[in-house]
Amino acid sequence: MEIHSEFVTTKVSDGTSMRLYVAHPAGAAAARGLLVMQEAFGINAHIRDVTERFAREGFLAAAPELFHRTGAGFEGRYDDFPSAMVHLKELRDPNMEADFRAAYDWLRANGVAAGSPIAAAGFCMGGRAAFLAAITLPLECAVSFYGGGIAPNPTNPGLLNRVKDLKAPVLLFWGGRDQHIPVDQRRAVADALKNAGKNYVSVEFSEADHGFFCDARPSYSPVAAAQAWPLTLAFLNTYTAAREQRASARS
């Protein structure tokens, strides 16, 4: 499918401006929207590629630049995590929630009509961001790839105290060999979702490491990535198609 992609700029409620990398099917209106949440390395080539992949599946996909307050245009190298930490440590949930709302509103104003579905998918810090977006926004569903900081860890208080406010089903991907998100943290997320009675799916690839979906990382796992992609699409399609059908029935 031919797509169109570009950077656009939108306003956030705190008065800042934020870039979005957007991609959509060329020459056709996308009936579904998707927020694509970045890794700690910015809106880099990998995140742009993933955003375009979702566009080829029929989504109007938008990746908000969550580092816009401290590093607009930042694209970090995977072998230089300290440069990403400069921006990552300055992130605050209220600011990110404002960014999510701005990106959501941009999707609504630029092709995803009221009543049409919007979902989220994110990777690494973006996996946590997608989970937080499902707490913040009226999404249809969210997909989190190895989302560090959903469970409490030494550098992040986590989001488990907010699970009760989760508004959408979530699909969680984990790597069994991921030392950044050890098994006790993965279990804590599942337990919190189960205890709150939330709709979730948790998938662990036993031989995969952190970042297994990213083909620019040494930890890339072609096998796990090849299996995770159709599961992601099936999950997104299940919930966004149901919303489309309800919207069509009302029109």
- For 49, 109, 134, 138, 156, the CA distances from 114, given in Å and listed in that order, are 27, 9, 18, 12, 35
Give the model confidence (pLDDT) of 70-124 as tens digits: 999 999 999 999 999 999 999 999 999 999 999 999 999 998 888 899 999 999 9
Q: What is the pLDDT of residues 152-173, one digit of tens each?
A: 999 899 999 999 999 999 999 9
Sign of CA pseudo-dihedral 158, 95, 78, 57: positive
pLDDT band, residue 30 (cuts 50/70/90): confident
Tell me phi and psi for residue 70, to 5 degrees: -115, -20
The pLDDT value given to residue 27: 80
19 in Cβ contact with 6 (< 8 Å): no
Per-residue pLDDT averaged across 140-149, rounded? 98
**CA–CA separation, 229 and 52 (whole Å):** 14
Active-site option among 124, 141, 209, 214: 124
Active site residue 87: no
pLDDT of res. 244:
58
The β-bridge partners of 3 are 25
Distances, alpha carbon 80 to alpha carbons 86, 143, 154, in Å? 11, 26, 21
Task: With H, G, I as helix, E, B as strand and everything else as coil, classify residue 235.
Answer: helix
| Active-site residue, selected from the candidate residues 46, 68, 210, 214 | 210
Residue ranges and CATH numbers for the domains of the chain are 3-250 (3.40.50.1820)
Which of 61, 58, 197 has its CA nearest to residue 122? 61
| Low-confidence winner among 14-18, 62-66, 111-115, 121-125 (lowest mean pLDDT) | 111-115
Is 210 known to be catalytic?
Answer: yes
Output the pLDDT for position 249: 52
The answer to whether residues 63 and 51 touch, using CB atoms and an 8 Å cutoff, is yes
Residue 203 CA to residue 228 CA, distance in Å, equals: 9
CB 127 within 8 A of CB 76: no
Burial grade of 188 (CB within 10 A; 0-12, 13-18, 19 or more): middle
pLDDT at 204: 98
Looking at residue 64, its pLDDT comes to 98
Query: What per-residue confidence (pLDDT) applies to 228?
Result: 98
Q: Any idea what DSSP says for residue 95?
A: H
DSSP class of residue 74 equals -
Instruction: Specify whether the CB–CB gap between 144 and 173 falls below 8 A.
Output: yes
Question: Which of 75, 81, 44, 88 shows the shortest CA–CA distance to 214?
Answer: 44
pLDDT of residue 242: 63
pTM: 0.96
Question: Both tokens of residue 21?
Answer: 């990398």
Q: Is the pLDDT of residue 198 over 90?
A: yes
Percent of residues, the chain, with pLDDT higher than 70 = 95
Q: How far apart are CA 59 and CA 119, in angstroms?
A: 10
Using one digit for the tens of pLDDT, what is the confidence trace for 219-243?
Answer: 999 999 999 999 999 999 999 986 6
Q: Is the pLDDT of residue 3 over 90?
A: yes
Which tokens hold the place of 219? 């930890």
Across the chain, mean pLDDT equals 95
Of 24, 178, 209, 214, which is the active-site residue? 178
